[in-house]
């Protein structure tokens, strides 16, 4: 609201002022246009006059697809909107474009493998395999050089950790797990 003619000129937008000005008139128009896109009903409000709302009420329910660059970008960027769409009964889907595994710290892998190792006797899992995976991972991290790429099983573990975080966040928002899609899910290449 505080932009002046000079601000427009300095930013190479002086033509806007000459065509639609003065600056304060443009500022108010942009503010009002943006304000009319803000709603507590991102899928439209049922039984309401749609003429002044940014989204129409019908059809209902809406089918929404959110493309999230990494797991957590969806919730960080628009978690409130996702929650509202979900609670209003719309069908929300999230497509994660990459695994985001490079954002998982090595210590998290150890923590999760430690959990698997400790829980394996409870569920009668192969204790030797879980113990070996834990020891091999510890050994790799002990000798890992700065910038070294993780072994495939470790990268897969980091992917699964990120997917688990995404599932937990979406579960909290009321988005069913079957509506989440990992677009680069290459976990098959990690299995042996």
DSSP 6: H
- Strands across the sheet with 63-68, in order? 63-68, 91-96, 180-182
70 φ/ψ angles, rounded to the nearest 5 degrees: -130, 155
pLDDT of residue 187: 57
Q: What is the mean pLDDT of each run of 10 residues along the chain (192 residues)?
A: 92 93 93 84 83 84 94 92 94 95 96 96 93 96 95 95 95 96 69 46
Q: Are 68 and 95 in contact (CB under 8 A)?
A: yes
* Look-up of token digits 């677009």: 183
Q: Are 16 and 26 in contact (CB under 8 A)?
A: yes
pLDDT of residue 124: 93
pLDDT of residue 26: 94
**Burial (CB count within 10 angstroms: exposed 0-12, middle 13-18, buried 19+), residue 165:** middle
């Amino acid at each position: 609201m505080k932009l002046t003619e000079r601000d427009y000129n300095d930013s190479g937008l002086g033509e806007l002022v000459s065509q639609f000005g003065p600056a304060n008139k443009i500022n108010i128009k942009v503010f009002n246009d943006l304000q009319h896109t803000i709603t507590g009903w991102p899928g439209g409000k049922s039984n309401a006059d749609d003429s002044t709302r940014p989204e129409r009420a019908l059809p209902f329910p809406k089918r929404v697809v959110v493309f999230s660059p990494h797991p957590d970008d969806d919730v960080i960027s628009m978690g409130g909107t996702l929650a509202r769409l979900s609670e209003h009964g719309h069908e929300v889907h999230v497509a994660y474009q990459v695994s985001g595994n490079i954002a998982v710290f090595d210590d998290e892998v150890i923590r999760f493998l430690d959990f698997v190792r400790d829980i394996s006797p409870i569920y009668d899992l192969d204790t030797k395999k879980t113990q070996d995976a834990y020891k091999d991972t510890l050994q790799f991290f002990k000798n890992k050089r700065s910038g070294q790429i993780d072994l495939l099983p470790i990268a897969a573990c980091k992917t699964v950790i990120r997917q688990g975080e995404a599932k937990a966040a979406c579960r909290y928002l009321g988005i069913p797990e079957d509506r989440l899609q990992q677009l680069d899910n290459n976990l098959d290449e990690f299995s042996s």
